[in-house]
């Protein structure tokens, strides 16, 4: 839900600053997702006048302009067809950044002629789609003034995330009501906002529209009013500016009125061109196989469970979701029918899911709009049409009955302390509820005579539920309203009582493993990321595709249950890189989801600089595959994997670079981890540059430990010092070093306790196609030191093991 600060203040009488508004929104439970002020990126763009315009000597389609932006004439090369002497437009100074493409303007020669900046179009400043020429302002626009200040663009756009239960905040007015209740100002009367003497219906003397509802379950109420003799055109500037500021594209005044009311009041409407209608307009169930060409240009096939608006000839509207293209208004429209209907939320949700069709109207109707607001909304829409399009209104048709019922909740003010743990005074609770539109009736709380004796009657409250709050069901919901306006920060943190004695451990073995992995990763310098379990279809396809696709996702970017942790980590890596992070080291402990269940996994991504540039090494050092392998080995060790028995294979998944990646396995089938350099195509898909290394550890594949009792064997260090011997073997370059090390380690399992590769060499002295691998072997004597004969036998066993792999001892 987006709106500008000035738009909010049309409903809220307040002097609060932007920061105060944002803090209060968060405090009352309306999460602020972002704030964008267009003026901040347009500070270097001024109003300028073109003094002269002459042809470019080297290009037919370019002109050389003399431009005054308040500091005297500057020479500018321009290719806009409307550039001419006397034009007043918007000029980007050298050093300014063009919002549309991020280009920094500089003094440069264009086809041999120096140019000092740029005259800009609307698209280049992200103020519209017009790119046919440079902006043309009024001749009296003040030359030299910052354009954003003159145009009134210093108006922050606030983006608020609305939870599904807060249908009342799907309009600017509902958000203003919450802020007023929180003490940030006064909610203006709605009639005052729309400059109406009252919200009474505007009825004319023309014939009422012929409409009815034959589907009371899907469309209980269908109100409509005709306006004849209208002139459709561009919306007034104030309305168009509001819509453009929040990303809506102005279409025509009739369409823009319905969009404006939907966003301003959370009340979707629809306008039909009466010339396209045949017979009465009826809300009914569709017939199986009926089709409609919607306003988005797509044709939808309907079934008998869907509510539609149709006449004798065709379906004109997928009820409450999207209108049809055939009956939409155009520049030639002169007579319109304004529809203000109530659609059942459950029916809207089912239809939208079946058609996979989303719209602003669906978002509001399936959450539930105010059923008592039909007359008022129709009056406001009709007034806007009359004010900006002219015409004469007809009488109003009210078909059906909106589901308006009087609801109340029996409430005890003590519930606030009992349920939420915060003691809010009764007077404060009453004031909060009434400011939110909940009328409070207090009963009891006095003394009355019963059988000649005084009797104290307990106080009770009856709290009325406003028609725009269908989410209120009982006393806990009332407590929630009181507490969120009173302030969640005022709720004390009270620990639960703990039974005496030592608590029994409740964590499972798998949970303990994840804790050790998480702590070890953090201790090794990795930062933990927590991502959504949902990713887009495109991201899932990049890692082999997902088994679970949601039928009704929150958004298209969160449609598939993730089959890999990499997409989320790579997206987080890009966000950090975009914000200037030089070295990124992220890990996540989470779940992957497959047809046969979920699997515990740890993901790692490292990008950017491993070490920063300095006077010794010069250039910064990037991460390599062996860096992420070291992290994998460390985490597998703390997870309980038998790292000494791991085998290295080269068959990593398609997400990795085929020549710079591998897997770690227990046998050929049990894969514990895959790691390596990310595939360039994968990095490009996620907007990453440079070398990116990644890994996934499959914790569920680690074999569990065998139970051997409750006590571990006591630590008994060797009595004698270990002996180390170095061996260098010339082996085929196709031989994996891990295979050689494993073979050497198994040459004498009793005496050899470790083997480690410490040198790789190819060059002079080594035949082509061969490589020299040097291995350090650690020998541990038992009860007595090794004799020369024993050491010789062990060395011979090591050499023999290497020879079996095609290696020879290097001389």
Tokens 């209104």 correspond to what residue? 393
Residue 681 and residue 764 share a domain: no
pLDDT bin (cut points 50, 70, 90) of residue 60 is confident
pLDDT band at 504 (very low <50, low <70, confident <90, very high): confident
On whether residue 128 sits in a domain, the answer given is yes
Of 150, 174, 196, the domain-final residue: 150
Q: How far apart are CA 657 and CA 682, in angstroms?
A: 9
pLDDT tier, 451 (very low <50, low <70, confident <90, very high otherwise): low
User: How many residues make up the chain in this entry?
Assistant: 811
Are 616 and 734 part of one and the same domain? no
Q: What 3-state DSSP class applies to 8? A: helix
Instruction: Assess whether 355 and 263 both reside in one domain.
Output: yes
Residue 438 lies in a domain: yes
What average pLDDT score do residues 579-604 get? Answer: 95
Structure tokens at 344: 């059942």
Confidence of residue 450 (pLDDT cuts 50, 70, 90): low
Judgement on whether residues 385 and 415 belong to the same structural domain of the protein: no
Last residue of a domain, one of 400, 431, 466: 400
Instruction: Give the confidence band of 447 by pLDDT, cuts at 50, 70, 90.
Output: low
Q: 134 near 117, Cβ under 8 Å?
A: no
The answer for residues whose C-beta is within 8 angstroms of residue 649's C-beta and 6 or more apart is: 662, 663, 664, 665, 668
Sign of CA dihedral 273, 276, 280, 284: negative
Give pLDDT, residue 77. Answer: 95
Q: Are 225 and 374 in contact (CB under 8 A)?
A: no
Identify the three-state secondary structure at position 464: strand
pLDDT digits (tens, 9 = 90+) for 12-34: 999 999 999 999 999 999 999 98
Clarify whether residues 88 and 132 are in a common domain. yes
**Do residues 466 and 539 share a domain?**
no
Task: Check whether 477 is labelled as a binding-site residue.
Answer: yes
Give the per-residue SS3 of 586-614.
EEEEEEEEECCEEEEEEEEEEEEEEECCC
Q: Are residues 631 and 759 in the same domain?
A: no
Which DSSP category does 39 fall into?
A: G
Residue 481 marked as a ligand binder = yes
Q: What angle do CA 579, 584, 585 make, to 5 degrees?
A: 145
Structural domain that includes position 250: 211-400
Residue 61: count of CB within 10 angstroms of its CB? 9
Using an 8 Å Cβ cutoff, are 234 and 257 in contact? no
Same domain? For 647 and 513 the reply is yes
Q: Residue 666: in which H helix or E strand, if any?
A: strand 656-666
Asked whether residue 154 is marked as a ligand-binding residue, the answer is no
Tokens, residue 754: 């470790």
Tell me the per-residue pLDDT of 380-401, one tens digit each, with 9 for 90 and over: 999 999 999 999 999 999 999 9
pLDDT value at 445 more than 80: no
698-709 burial, b at 16+ Cβ within 10 Å, e below that, comes to bbebbeeeeeee
Question: In the prediction, which pLDDT does 667 show?
Answer: 85
User: Does residue 466 share a domain with residue 413?
Assistant: yes
- Write the CB contacts of 761 (distance below 8 Å, at least 6 apart in sequence): 771, 772, 774
Closest CA to 599 of 590, 608, 607: 590
For residues 90 and 113, the answer to whether their CB atoms sit within 8 Å is no
Q: Does 33 carry a binding-site annotation?
A: no
pTM above 0.85, yes or no: no
What are residue 67's DSSP bridge partners? 50, 74
């Amino acid at each position: 839900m987006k709106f500008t600060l000035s738009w909010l203040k049309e409903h809220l009488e307040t002097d609060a600053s932007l920061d105060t508004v944002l803090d209060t929104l968060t405090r009352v439970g309306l999460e602020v997702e972002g704030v964008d002020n267009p003026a901040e990126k347009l500070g270097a763009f001024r109003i300028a006048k073109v003094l002269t315009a002459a042809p470019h000597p080297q290009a037919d389609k370019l002109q050389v302009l003399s431009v005054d932006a308040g500091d005297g004439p500057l020479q500018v090369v321009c290719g806009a067809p409307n550039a001419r002497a006397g034009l007043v437009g918007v000029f980007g100074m050298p050093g300014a950044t063009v919002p549309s493409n991020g280009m920094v303007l500089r003094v440069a020669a264009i086809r041999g002629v120096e140019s000092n900046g740029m005259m800009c179009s609307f698209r280049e400043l992200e103020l519209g789609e017009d790119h046919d020429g440079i902006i043309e302002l009024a001749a009296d626009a003040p030359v030299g003034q910052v354009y954003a200040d003159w145009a009134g663009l210093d108006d922050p756009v606030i983006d608020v995330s609305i939870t599904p239960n807060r249908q009342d905040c799907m309009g600017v007015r509902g958000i203003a009501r919450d802020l007023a209740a929180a003490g940030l100002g006064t909610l203006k009367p709605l009639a005052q906002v729309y400059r109406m003497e009252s919200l009474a219906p505007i009825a004319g003397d023309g014939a009422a529209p012929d409409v009815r509802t034959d589907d009371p379950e899907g469309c209980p109420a269908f109100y409509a009013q005709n306006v004849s003799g209208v002139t459709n055109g561009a919306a007034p500037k104030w309305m168009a500016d509001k819509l453009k500021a929040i990303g809506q594209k102005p279409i025509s005044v009739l369409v823009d009125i319905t969009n404006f009311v939907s966003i301003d009041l959370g009340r979707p409407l629809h306008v039909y061109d009466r010339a396209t209608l045949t017979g009465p307009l009826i809300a009914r169930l569709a017939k199986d196989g009926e089709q409609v060409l919607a306003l988005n240009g797509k044709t939808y096939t309907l079934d008998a469970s869907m509510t539609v608006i149709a006449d004798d000839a065709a379906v004109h509207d997928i009820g409450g979701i999207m209108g049809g293209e055939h009956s939409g208004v155009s520049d030639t429209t002169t007579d319109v029918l304004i529809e203000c209907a109530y659609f059942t939320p459950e029916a809207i949700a089912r239809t939208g899911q079946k058609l996979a069709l989303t719209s602003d109207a669906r978002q509001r109707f399936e959450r539930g709009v105010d059923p008592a607001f039909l007359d008022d909304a129709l009056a406001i829409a009709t007034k806007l049409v009359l004010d900006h399009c002219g015409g004469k209104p007809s009488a109003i048709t009210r078909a059906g009955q909106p589901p308006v019922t009087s609801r109340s909740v029996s409430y005890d003010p003590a519930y606030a302390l009992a349920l939420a743990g915060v003691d809010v005074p009764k007077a404060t609770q009453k004031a909060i509820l009434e400011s939110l539109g909940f009328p409070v009736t207090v009963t009891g709380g006095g003394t009355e005579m019963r059988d000649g004796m005084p009797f104290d009657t307990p106080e009770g409250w009856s709290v009325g539920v406003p028609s725009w709050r269908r989410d209120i069901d009982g006393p806990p919901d009332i407590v929630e309203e009181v507490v969120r306006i009173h302030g969640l920060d005022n709720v004390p943190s009270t620990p639960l009582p703990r039974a005496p004695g030592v608590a029994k451990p409740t964590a499972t073995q798998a949970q303990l493993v994840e804790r050790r992995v998480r702590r070890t990763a953090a201790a090794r310098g990795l930062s933990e990321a927590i991502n959504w379990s949902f990713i887009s279809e495109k991201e899932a396809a990049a890692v082999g595709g997902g088994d679970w696709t949601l039928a009704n996702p929150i958004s298209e970017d969160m449609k598939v249950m993730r089959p890999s942790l990499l997409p989320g980590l790579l997206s987080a890596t890009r966000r950090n890189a975009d914000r200037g992070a030089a070295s990124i080291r992220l890990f996540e402990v989470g779940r992957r989801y497959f047809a046969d269940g979920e699997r515990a996994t740890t993901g790692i991504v490292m990008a950017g600089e491993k070490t920063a540039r300095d006077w010794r090494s010069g250039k910064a050092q990037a991460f390599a595959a062996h860096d992420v392998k070291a992290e994998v080995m460390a985490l597998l060790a703390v997870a309980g994997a038998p790292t000494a028995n791991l085998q290295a294979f080269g068959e990593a998944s398609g997400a990795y670079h085929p020549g710079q990646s591998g897997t770690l396995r227990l046998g050929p089938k049990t894969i514990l981890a895959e790691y390596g350099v990310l595939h360039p195509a994968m990095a490009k898909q996620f907007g990453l540059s440079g070398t990116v290394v990644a890994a996934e550890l499959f914790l569920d594949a680690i074999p569990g430990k065998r139970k051997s009792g409750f006590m571990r064997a006591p630590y008994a260090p060797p009595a004698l010092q270990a002996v180390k011997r170095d061996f260098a073997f010339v082996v085929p370059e196709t031989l994996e070093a891990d295979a050689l090390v494993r073979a050497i380690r198994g040459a004498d399992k009793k005496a050899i306790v470790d083997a480690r590769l410490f040198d790789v060499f190819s060059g002079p002295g080594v035949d082509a196609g061969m490589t020299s691998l040097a291995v350090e072997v650690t020998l541990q004597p038992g009860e007595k030191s090794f004799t020369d004969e024993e050491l010789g036998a062990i060395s011979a066993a090591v050499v023999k093991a290497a020879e079996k792999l095609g290696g020879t001892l290097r001389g």
